[in-house]
Amino acid sequence: LHDGQTLPARVVNAAPVTDLACIKIEATGLSTLKFGPAAALEAGQKLMLVGYSVGEFGAIHLEVVDPDYPLQLPMGEIPVVKVRSAESSEGALDIMEKFAGTAGGPVVNKMGEVVGVMLAVDPETGESFVVPVDYPGLVLLMRNCGGEVSAYVDPEKTISIRVGQEFAIGLHVVLRLGPKWVESHDNDVVALVGEAYIPDDVTKPGCGGYQYFRFRALKASEKEIALALKHSGTEPVVEEKVFKVEIK
């Protein structure tokens, strides 16, 4: 930790799409940061990155370039916040050196609220990319760390929940092979609130894992949620699974 204290921790969730993981520390009395409104970010707004820059704990002043930038990653496109160093005189190489080791660090607003997590730096421009805290995949990643959401992976079993309750369904997939699961549901009955991929082994990229979809039950009904395994939106379905949901 920032005070030099070392504590045991374990990885309880991971999202390779954003190259982020949720690590749980078994301790009490630790300081925490509150989450802020990432959706309210605007171009020109000043932020601060907190982390270990070049091995030393400190802060880097940032400025928002684009609050909703479509970043293309190997596993898909995600909306990120594009930022740059507030020190306009710095070159790309200077910025790369300054940001070394800061990936995964919290980005806070002037109120000290976390609005995103540092992802990566563009080596050509020196601009950086921040995953906003309201990005569905990151929301699911963090919420699942608490273990308060039930996850279902067997289509043969009916999911029984109550109105207002959140739940997750998931199926195994090997993303490096190309196809991934695409869900379809009744928007009047359930709402999709997040999506994440959790690998079987975080130390072995490409080994496969579970692709999860998190929903919130909106009203009492009996419906089905279909998951189709596809290479792209236009190609034929490789496989399809249907989950039955009973909302009381």
Strand order in the sheet with 239-247: 159-161, 239-247, 221-230, 180-184
CA distance 25 to 160: 32
Same domain (yes/no): 160, 102: no
Question: Beta strands of the chain (E only): which ranges?
Answer: 9-15, 20-25, 46-53, 56-73, 76-85, 106-108, 114-121, 128-132, 150-152, 159-161, 166-173, 180-184, 190-199, 209-217, 221-230, 239-247
Q: Give the tens place of pLDDT for each residue, 149-171.
A: 677 888 999 999 999 888 889 88
Domain boundary among 84, 105, 133: 133
Is 138 part of any domain? no
CA distance 109 to 42: 11
Cβ atoms of 171 and 164 within 8 Å: the answer is no
Residue 173 bridge partners (DSSP): 209
What does the pLDDT read at residue 141? 60
Chunked into runs of 10 residues, the chain (248 residues) has average pLDDT values of: 81 67 80 84 91 72 90 70 76 63 85 89 80 72 57 89 88 81 93 78 65 90 94 81 95
Cβ atoms of 128 and 120 within 8 Å: the answer is yes
CATH assignment at residue 169:
2.60.40.2020
What does the pLDDT read at residue 94? 62
What does the pLDDT read at residue 240? 94
CATH assignment at residue 67:
2.40.10.10
Domain boundary among 133, 158, 186: 133
Show Cβ contacts of residue 32 under 8 Å, excluding neighbours closer than 6 positions. none
What does the pLDDT read at residue 166? 84
Residue 196 bridge partners (DSSP): 212
Same domain (yes/no): 22, 80: yes
What does the pLDDT read at residue 93? 55
- Report H helices in the chain: 92-99, 136-143
Show Cβ contacts of residue 225 under 8 Å, excluding neighbours closer than 6 positions. 169, 183, 184, 185, 190, 213, 215, 242, 243, 245
Same domain (yes/no): 126, 218: no
212's tokens? 């999860």
Q: Give the tens place of pLDDT for each residue, 17-39.
A: 666 777 878 888 888 888 888 88
Is 51 part of any domain? yes
- Segments forming the whole domain that contains residue 212: 149-247
Same domain (yes/no): 99, 177: no
